[in-house]
Amino acid sequence: MTSLPEAWASLTDSEAVDRIAGVRSLLGDEVLVLGHHYQRDEVIRFADLTGDSYALAKGAAARGEARWIVFCGVHFMAETARILAEPRQRVLLPDREAGCSMADMAEIDEVEVAWEEMAAARDPGGVIPITYVNSSAAVKAFVGERGGAVCTSSNAGAVYDWALEQGKALFFLPDQHLGRNVGSRKGIPLDGMRLWDPSRETGGLGRDEVASAAVLLWKGHCRVHTRFDGKQIEAFRRRFPGARVLVHWECPLDVVEAADGVGSTADIVREVAAAPAGSILGIGTELHLVSRLARTHPDRTILPLLAGTGVCATMNRIDPQHLLFTLDELAAGRAVHEVTVPDGVAAGARLALERMLEITRRREAPRGALAAPSGLR
């Protein structure tokens, strides 16, 4: 973890929690604390807004009275909040080392090389880049400047449709599984979705493979959601006959196809809330969220699909001690661990985000139940 002064590092969680309440009250409306769904309970209890990454960034932008945005999440989330926030607002990340392994799998220099190699194999005007929101500001800017868009796990289908209707191939990054799952739902054959490995020349693909692909998927993934597999679902159903299994779009294709429903984090939260009392639900996503859902809905049996695993290690870096230190420093007139985005990068990233918003406004269906896997049972 980021080094903390001894006065904070030596505190127990309960001691830090007791002190956070006091300083939080002292700071008032000038400070807005954002808590991602995957945060531990000792942190999430102090969040003014709770949600997934993009919803939190939008929520912060709508709260212009807050001068300081303390984002209890990971670095790319804080960057997105900085891009969408008003100029007077400043964004702080309690632990500067709280990154995202998936976002880190797509470094901007590797993305630029891949784009050049794709251009050598096919007309670059025939490819449109799409980046999942779980990516750096630099990658978002790259995509925005080349006519592409950001997507979230909630609206990836709408963004896919927008890109495909232009008659172009998709360059989808950094999560291969989200890209493959949505592409499969759109009827794209698996052999039409080629995996681009940035560690290999031309992504490990032949020129003909690059030229003919409908989708080029970056070789990235979420280390939490790739822990699940179809055999775990089979075992869960044997143990709990009649149970319903819900998983995240970032899971591998075999998991999505074996589940009863697939959706974003927010979709899963809504689906659990709507389930009737007495339901048995197996959830394939981050463990902190699954445990919180079980406590929130005690009249339902809510269990992790794979017991004892699934904590997001990077998200877990934000602890009560780091949050307290950040707030104490603000109370003393000092800002620590501020997240900034260069103006040029922010402008390009904003283009990609605004394009996503426009696509979503025009195409996205009303929110409802989680998507059911196609072609199953």
DSSP string, 357-371: HHHHHHHPPPP-SPB
Residues in the chain, pLDDT under 70: 1-2, 308-309, 363-377
Torsions phi, psi of 268, nearest 5?
-65, -45
What's the pLDDT at 70? Answer: 96
Other beta carbons less than 10 A from residue 285's beta carbon: 29
Topology at the third CATH level for domain 6-99+314-335 = Rossmann fold (3.40.50)
Q: Is the peptide bond before 174 cis (omega within 30 degrees of 0)?
A: yes
Q: Provide the CATH topology of domain 225-304.
A: Rossmann fold (3.40.50)
pLDDT at 306: 81
In the structure encoding, which two tokens stand for residue 9, read together? 């590092």
pLDDT at 371: 62
Question: Which pLDDT score, from 0 to 100, does residue 141 have?
Answer: 98
* pLDDT > 90 in the chain, percent: 82
Q: For residue 201, give the 3-state DSSP assignment.
A: helix
Q: Are strands 90-92 and 338-339 parallel, antiparallel or unpaired?
A: antiparallel
